[in-house]
Structures are given as C-alpha cells and as structure tokens.
A and B are shown apart, each in its own frame.
Chain A
Amino acid sequence: MIKHNTVKATINGMAVEVPFGTSILEAARSVQVNIPVLCKHKDLLPTAACGLCIVKVSGNRKLPRACATALEDGMEITTHDTELTEVRRTTLELILSNHPNACLTCGRNGSCELQTMAGEFGIRQDDIPRYVRDLEPDCSSGSIVMDFTKCIKCGRCIQVCQQMQNVWALSFLDRGINTRMAPAGDISLNESPCIRCGQCSAHCPTGAIVENDETAAVWEELRDPDKYCTVQIAPSVRVALGEEFGHAPGTDVTGKIYTALRRLGFKAVFDTNFSADLTIIEEASEFLERFAHGNGELPLITSCCPAWVDYMEKRFSDFVPNFSTAKSPQQMLGVLAKTYFAEKSGIDPASIIQVSIMPCTAKKYELERTDEMYASGYKDVDISLTTRELARMIKQSGVDFNRLPDGEADSILGTYSGAGLIFGSTGGVMEAALRTAYFKVTGKNLEKEAINLHAVRGMKGIRGAAIDIEGTEVRVAVAHGLANVEALLKEVREARDSGGPIPYHFIEVMACPGGCIGGGGQPYGVSDEVRLQRIKGLFDGDESMALRFSHENPDIKKLYDDYLGEPLGEKAHSLLHAHYKPRPAYQR
C-alpha cells in the first residue's frame, strides 16, 4: 500500500488537503470553518469531553467528534446544518443545567467560553432542571481560586497540571455526575503539590479556576491619603496587556501603562525591568564566583520564577545548593522601593505601599515566601496583581487606554536595558546573564549581531548550548514548561552521582511554556502562536534599544555607587538574596 503523507477530503463541499493525522477540527480551520468546542485547547490533546464538536461524515450514521477524529481520504464532512446545530444546542443546554446561573458575579464574566457560546447559540430558555453540586470554593492557595460548581469537566486543567506542568496537584476524582477536579483526597490546594503557576486558570474555559482577585485591596490603598502607593510592572506585562484593549499580542504598550498607572493614583511608577537588570548583576556575579572561583555548586540554576522555586523545593530539593540566591526582580524592586527610594526621596517607608503587576499568579505567593521577603523591615511588596487584574482596574477607572499619551517611569528605579526587557521570555534570563558574564570575564562587550545569543532562543522545551567566552566553554541549558525540567535535572543528577563531568554550568528554568510571557496571569487565549508574538515583542524592543547590557544601566551603576556597594557585598546580600529549603509535596 502506498503511504500518503496527506489526505484529501471535502468539508462543507470545499476540497481540503491536510497532513495525515490532522483532526477534522484542525482541517476545518484550514478552510476558515470554526467548529464549536469547549474542551479542546490548542495547547492540549483532545479529550472529546464536551460533545459540541460533532460533525457528519457521509456514510457514517454516528456523529463523530471533530477534535478526536482524524480526517481520512475521501471523507465528506458536514460541520454545520440545522440538525447539528440543534444537537449542539441540546448538549449546551445540558452543560448549562449543571452550571450555576451566576455569570454576573463570576470572575470570567465577559471572558467565559461557555457564556460566549451560550450567547452565540442564542440560548434563551433555561428549562432543564438545574443540578449543581453544593461544594465550597477552595480559596486556600492565595494565588488561584477554584470553584468546583462552575467546572464543566472538560479536563483542560487536569491535562495542564499533570502533563504540561508535571505537577500532579489536580486529579479527576470520582466519576459520572460527581466527577470533580481536586487534589488527591480531601485536602486543599494549599496542602497539595500545587505550585500556583496558574496555568490551569489560564486554560479553564469557565470561571471554575480564576486568579485570586486583589484589585479591591489595591483600590483601598490608593484611596488612603496616608499611603504612598508605588507600583512596578514586569517585562511580560507590556507585550500582553494590549490584548485586553484590542491590540495584537506582542504590541508594546509600556508608555500607556505608565500613564494609566499614574492616573489610577500611583505616586511613583517603577519598572521591574530595572530590577531585572539588578538580578542579572547579582546572578552573573554569583555565576562567576561559582564558575571561575569554585565558590559554590554548579550548575547554577535560576530562581526568579516562584512556581519553579516551589516545585524544586517540593520535588528536587537535592538541588537547593544549586539555586541562585539572587532574589527575583519583583522582590528586589520591592525592597529597594522601601529602602533606597524611601531614603532618597525622604518618604517614610512605613507609608509606602508597593504593588507589582505580574504575568503570574505564583508571584502572589512569593510575597510571603520566607522572612527574607521582608528585608526592608516591611513587607517588601504588599500586593501582586496579574496582568488580567490590571486590565480590570484600568477598565473600571474610566481611563481610555488606547488614547493615552505615553508616559515615563520614575528614573531612580525605572531605567532599564534590553537585557532586562527580555527577562520575560524563555531563554531571556540566560541571554541577559551571558551578556554580562561575557563582559565580566573579558572586560569588553559582545558586539553587534553577537549580542543576540540565538543559541538560547526559541520555543523548544529544552535547549542546550555551548558558549565560548574567549576560549572557555560555558555550557548552558534552558527549559520551560515544567514537564521539560525533569529530564534535564535527571541528566545533571546522574552526572553528579556518578562523579562524571557536569553537563551544564548554568541552567535557566521558567515554569510556564514560553516563559513569563505565557504566565498564568496573562490575558486569556494563549497558544504557541500568541507566545511567539509576545516573545517577538520583547526581542524587538531589546533590539531597538541603545542600552542592551544590564551592567551599563546608569541607574544600576548609581545604585551600587550610592547605596549597595559591591555586587554580592554585605548590603547586597542582606537585601537582595534569599535561601531555599526542602518542603513536603503533601502537607497531609
């Protein structure tokens, strides 16, 4: 038999030719036909759970599900007709009959896939008796809130948690109508292996899993005349927030965000890119200390991702000595806002409220991770909001975001280099650190095209590269999406245990696929296409900047000269470094 690489068929009378193995759902998209679906997500394998993507195949009396059926040669597919629409409507009504009628007070009001579909299908009746289980929401994690009653059992969160992130906090418990997604046994998320990455919330089609909305707390602080509210925005927020206001993914709206934040009432607007530069200085110094002077374990592993830190402490705690002690940019900026900035501007640090805008739900957890997060004598960062929460605040405030003039950040903690900007992408921390490490070793900067370290860029799950720094080979690896981490660490562990040469000197890990730009707190609708556009936004920004090295950031130099002293010095150590310890995956 001849093996064909493509299959030819017709969809609604239109000829299609797609690669062998393509699902009917995907094939239909290639001829601009969208088949309704609630369970299949572009990132995930089909589960055939929702039953909405049924289609007709000539010669087949059944209605196969388009997400889980491969297109075959000669198939004649009908995706839409009166009968299919009626069957879909009934299915949708059945799903809605197990869903609380609580749209108006739901965290996904306006962004819910189920609500949208009910609207598109013109559901006007609510005749089927409603059965919704009486279950309390799980608010224990502080990062995400799970409301089991809103779950439509699509299985996305389970696949995300188990396969994409390899965390296995969530499972499908029980069966049939009683099925629910929850940690193993009757324990709360906070007692489970959950690392709060929030990818479940970013993939959930409904309001069953949402970020813990803390906008009300921020409004309260902003209203308090005795408080001096300051704010920082993370690298990834600027290339994604625009999506909430109609811009394409990757559009850089930094200037508008600065202006919007001032209009919301923040008295000082800082940029996490600045402290990303600072993290690089400390981390690159730490790397050279370990690499060139043998002070400390190799490989050095990045620790700026709090979900990854939590994962390592729970699952790979034998790597505690390998973790960079340099705090994440969020925490570095927070501590400096309440020490350096407070001193320089003569403001009582007790009155300063520091809010961070992050692409991330785990950043909420990082605020109180250890006592070291209070290094200023106060809680260094008071409240952390996700990109989605900031969008909500801007919309509430009446600010016409798209027509805002561009603003500036406050220079003392706001100037940044392109190296700080790319922190939000997978490989970005590594690239930024290598640019500075190269300078520290050789005394000169990488030039022109060599600044762009293409070897560590891209979307492959694990990327290894050997970087030549004047004859010395530095072996680095980058992993993103936690499912990719295990293989990498096992390779390191085996080499270590057998006494062989270490495969890598420096490893960057980001918990979310694509890095922070694909974070669990980013605007909905993520896919690899969107991730690549956001990454491009960051790297285009880097390329357009005159300042591309963290060590050349003038405000960073001033900070060390005026305040911190030397990298890894005493003051730097007390303010900018943190430690790690093993933690149990299950607390009970």
Chain B
Amino acid sequence: MTMPGCMGGWRWGVAHTLMAIFLVVMALSFLSVIRLELVVNGLLIGLIMAVGAIGLSLVYGILKFANIAQGDFMTLGAYMCLFLLGTLFPRMNIQGTGLGPFTFGYPMLLALPLVMVVLATLAIGLDIGVYRRLRGRGVSTVVLAMTSLGVAIALRGAVQVLWGGETEQYPRLSRQFYQAPMDVRIPPDGIFIGLVTVTLVVALYLFLSRTRMGKAMRATSDNEELARVSGINTERVIWWTWAIGAALAATAGILLAVFQAQLLPIMGWRVLIPLFAAVILGGIGNPFGALVGALIIGVTSEVSTEWLSPSYKPAVAFLLMIATLLVRPTGIFGVKS
C-alpha cells in the first residue's frame, strides 16, 4: 500500500505553484480588483495555518489517519504558553512586553520552545497510552480517527477546566501597524510569524532531506511494510512524527493567539476545517504541499471578505476543499495511488 502523496518531488511543483499564485495575486491587486492588504493578511494567516497543517499532514502520511485532535493541540499549546507568560514566568520574575517591534516580550522566546517540547512529550505519551495499543489490535484507521475525536474533546475540556471558557490574552503592548505602500498595513507581530514559520519550514526540510530519521520518516510514509523489512523501527518513527506534529501544533496555536491577540478554548476546533482543507489541497502526507495549501486557503478566505461576510471564511475553506475533492482528490502535489 503506497500513500498517495509523498514528500519528494515537491521542489519544482511547490516553486512553480507559489510563483504562479504570486503573479496572479499581484496582477489582481495592481488592477485594484482586490485590496493588497487582504492578501497580506491572508498570507499571514496562511503561514500560521501552514505550521499546524504541516504537522497534521506528517501525522496523516505516516499514521494514515486524520488526527482530529490537531486543532485542540493548538489550543492546548496556546494556553500552556499563557500559563508560562501570565503565571509561572512572572513569579520567577521573568516578564516583559514590547520586545523590539513586537507586542510580546522576551519571555515569549523562552516559552515557545518550552511549550513545543512539553506538547511533543504529551503527544508521545498519548501514543503510548492510547494509539499504540489500538495499532497493536490492528484496528482500522477510521477507528483511530474516531479515537482522536475523543482526545480532541478531552483536550478542550481540560483546557476549559484549567483556564475557564473566557477570552484570554498574552501580556502585550499595543503597537502601531507598519504603513506599507498601496494602503497595506502590516502588524509588527506579522514579522515574527514570518520568521518563525520560515525557520521551522527550513528546519523541517533539512531534517527530512538530510537526516537518517527524516529519511526514515519519508520512507515509512511511502510504504510502512517495506520500511520495517528494511530494518526501520517504525514505532520510533511514529514517535518522532507525533513529537514534530505536536510541536508544530503548539507553535501554530501560539502564533494564532499572538496574531488574533486573544485566546479562546474553541480556537483550535475552529481552524480544523482550514487545516484539513490545506492538507487535502496540498496532497495528504506532503508537508510542503500543506504549506502551499495553507497559503492558498489563507489568501482565498481573506480575499473573499471583499464580497462575503468575514464569518464565512471557514465555509470558503470548506468549499475549496470540496472543489479539490471533485477535481483532483489527490491534491495539487499528490501522486495517484
């Protein structure tokens, strides 16, 4: 059984698609059909979604099931960061806002990697306690997805028990938006979002293409049985996958909370549709496809607010996903199985 969608061969495809989209969007905004500011906003949201969607796609490619809990992993990551920034760090006298041009302070730079590690550990723990036992029984992938729904509900319940259901905020300093040409306003935190995303994508690329474990992950995604008879310990690969997937979810959750300047327990569940739309658009199991998918989804949903009520954004993502399933179910970069 080979997976439709694999991680190689994306270089050309991704580059060309991005370039084509970029040109079309630029042309449209110069013709004043759409406001460039919406495009920039869409790109920022797309980058945040991409971080979560890449993690989702990796797990999808290797464990072969739709991890419904990815959105609530994001929520949990965002709230853990709130705990560090709002409660734990101040007690240790680590506090501050307004680092450089950003709304948050230097504690964020400590909190982000810490939350990534904690969430990665939690994901491995969940695999040992739950998913591995089900794999051992040889259950179908749809039962694993069902289980992840239960995990998603429990995670959100835990967040609400620990933090309540009210809107929260990271300690922040309000900042002026940058004024760019063509009436584009860019939030200073957008630069942080771009930096973090680019760093993570480059790091993931190097990991998957240069390291032994990264190549083993791609091999396992391609063909698990063949990986095992090649001597790859696929259980170890699965742990790495969970760890990376959850660390990326944590990052995406934190970035989303920074960008929207608020945290809500339902924030992760709400982005589940754009997340899956991005994964399917990019081809399941292809993390770099998920990046492109997320950017397309982000820009399209944002630009749609020119004509539609902004609350329809998830529905736009959903329609894009349905269109993909109709036209090319394997996604833009997917390989026919």
Q: Is the A/B pair a real complex?
A: no
Interface residues in chain A, defined as those with a beta carbon under 8 Å from any beta carbon in chain B: none
